[in-house]
Structure 1
Amino acid sequence: MPKLVDHDERRAQIIDALLRAAAATGLHAVTMRSVAVEAGISVRLVQYYFDTKEQLLLATMERLAVRMGERVRERVRTAGASPAPREIVEAVLLEAVPTDEESRTFHLVYTEYAVLSVTDPALGGKAFLAAPDEMEAFLVAQLAAAQQAGGADPLLDARQEAVVLLAVSAGLGLSVLLGQRTAADAGAVLHYHLGRLFPDPGSGTGG
């Protein structure tokens, strides 16, 4: 009796192959053939699941978004049963810093995809912007919760601060990719900045 094919598993296999190829040569150099070689399958089989490279790239970004969400939740769980808004915000922002091989691949591929989407309408659009918009809204909610609980300055503009936080974390992540600073240094910068937004009432200075 022939073995039944798990189509979700096969799609994941192809996406993982693309990620490995992109981490080694850059997303711009990835082709359907190079993905097939990396996955150890035929080009025709890759095309059976993904008609075009654009479809494969979009599916890859969706998979990365899911995995990033899982990593954020793992970070939040390590903060305890009832993490404070600052701990949640810090966990989210630290995922923008490449700290291991998986997160390095994620940020490398995401950054390259963002650049490619500027000149390729098939890769951009509202779907690509949905995740950053959701992250911004999430941070706004956490900052507002901290303000209501007295853990952050009530005069702060939560939305503007959320935009700044995302810009800072993205810039730090890129600087780590480029080797300008270490992941530990980037984490220290984030920790310092969050100390200004969420001052420690016992210290009188924040941080």
Structure 2
Amino acid sequence: MPRVADHDQRRAQIARAFQRLLAADGFAAVSFSRVATGAGCSVGLIQHYFPDKDALLRFAYDDAVSRLGERVRVRVRNGEAARLPVAEVLLDSLVELLPLDAERDVEYRVRQGLQAQALHHPGLAEVARRAGRDLLGYVTAVIGDGVGRGEVDAGVDTGLAARVILATVQGLADQLVLSGADAFPARDALGQVVAAVFTGNRAVRDR
């Protein structure tokens, strides 16, 4: 019996070869022929799954965002199962956005590279808006949960606090890539900003 192709796996294989090239060499250096070499397939196979570069860009962007989101969800599930304070769960999950290892460094570079393209690409802009909206909604909801549990002051503007925290995450990520992951304790820096919102939680503030 002939082997049935795993189309989802092949799409992911191609998209991740594209991501590695984008992270290593920048957007302008990426071509279907180089992606084919990196993915170990033919240009024709890539065109079978992605009729043009725009389709590949959108899928690759969505794939990077989805993998990041899954790791955040795992962190949240583990933290909730361990009955950690809300602030600590938030901090552990947001650390996944920082390029602290090779995998997260590639994802950061892919997100940044494709987000820049999204300024002039409606399909990528849609992915960027959805990812940003989902992340903002998550952080805002966690802060709201903190209000309910007494970890956050009732007068805090949860949406504004979420934006400040996310802006800090982005700034730290940029600094890590420019100065190196060992240049400063990024998790501790982020922890201070989270602790400034979760003023009732000493577990994060004092460690």
Q: Do the structures match in fold with TM over 0.5?
A: yes
Q: 1: CA distance between counterparts of 2:39 and 2:60?
A: 14
Give SS of 2:79's match.
coil
Give SS of 2:4's match.
coil
The structure-2 alpha-carbon separation of the partners of 1:187 and 1:109, relative to structure 1 and needing over 3 Å to count, comes to same
Deviation at 1:128, TM superposition (A): 2.3
Deviation at 1:136, TM superposition (A): 0.7
Deviation at 1:189, TM superposition (A): 0.6
User: How big is the alpha-carbon RMSD for the aligned residues of Structure 1 and Structure 2?
Assistant: 2.2
Give SS of 1:178's match.
helix
Q: Is the 8 A contact 2:99 2:181 kept in 1?
A: no
Any stretches of 5+ residues in structure 2 without a counterpart?
A: none
Deviation at 1:88, TM superposition (A): 2.3
Equivalence for 2:113: 112
Q: Is the 8 A contact 1:19 1:105 kept in 2?
A: yes
Deviations 1:41-78 (A, max 9, x none): 11111001001111111111111122112211333345
Q: 1: CA distance between counterparts of 2:193 and 2:3?
A: 55
1:27-106 matched pairs, under 5 angstroms: 27-79=27-79, 81=81, 82-106=83-107
Deviation at 1:200, TM superposition (A): 4.7
Q: Is the 8 A contact 2:97 2:108 kept in 1?
A: yes
Equivalence for 1:17: 17
Give SS of 2:185's match.
helix
Equivalence for 1:129: 129
Calculate the TM-score normalised by the size of structure 1: 0.89
Equivalence for 1:4: 4
Which aligned runs of 4 or more in structure 1 are off by greater than 2 angstroms? 1-4, 73-80, 119-123, 180-184, 199-203
Q: 1: CA distance between counterparts of 2:66 and 2:92?
A: 16
Calculate the TM-score normalised by the size of structure 2: 0.89
Matched, 1:193 2:190: no
Q: Is the 8 A contact 1:76 1:87 kept in 2?
A: no
The structure-2 alpha-carbon separation of the partners of 1:202 and 1:130, relative to structure 1 and needing over 3 Å to count, comes to closer
Q: Is the 8 A contact 1:22 1:109 kept in 2?
A: yes
1:156-167 matched pairs, under 5 angstroms: 156-167=156-167
Count of residue correspondences: 205
Deviations 1:110-138 (A, max 9, x none): 001111222334432x3320111111111
Q: Is the 8 A contact 1:99 1:183 kept in 2?
A: no
The structure-2 alpha-carbon separation of the partners of 1:127 and 1:188, relative to structure 1 and needing over 3 Å to count, comes to same
Deviation at 1:93, TM superposition (A): 1.8
The structure-2 alpha-carbon separation of the partners of 1:183 and 1:163, relative to structure 1 and needing over 3 Å to count, comes to farther
Q: 2: CA distance between counterparts of 1:134 and 1:183?
A: 30
Q: Is the 8 A contact 2:140 2:158 kept in 1?
A: yes
Q: 2: CA distance between counterparts of 1:128 and 1:28?
A: 20
